[in-house]
Amino acid sequence: MLIDRHNLKIPLIRQCNLLDLARSTCYYQPCRDDSYNELIMRLIDEEYTRHPFRGREQMTDWLRSIGYPVNHKRVGRLMQKMGIQAIYPKRKTSIPNKGHKVFPYLLRGMKIEYPSQVCQGSKRGHREVFSVLQ
pLDDT tens-digit profile of 4-23? 888 888 888 898 998 898 98
Asked whether the beta carbons of 14 and 52 are under 8 A apart, the reply is: no
**What is the percentage of the chain residues whose pLDDT exceeds 70?**
86
**pLDDT 10s digits, 41-64:** 999 999 999 999 999 999 999 999
pLDDT digits (tens, 9 = 90+) for 74-84: 999 999 999 99
pLDDT at 130 over 60: no
pLDDT tens digits for range 23-46: 888 888 877 678 899 999 999 999
| DSSP labels, the chain | ----TT-SSS-HHHHHHHHT--HHHHH------HHHHHHHHHHHHHHHHH-TT--HHHHHHHHHHTT----HHHHHHHHHHHT-------TTTTSPPTTSPPPP-TTTTPPP-STTSEEEEEEETTEEEEEE--
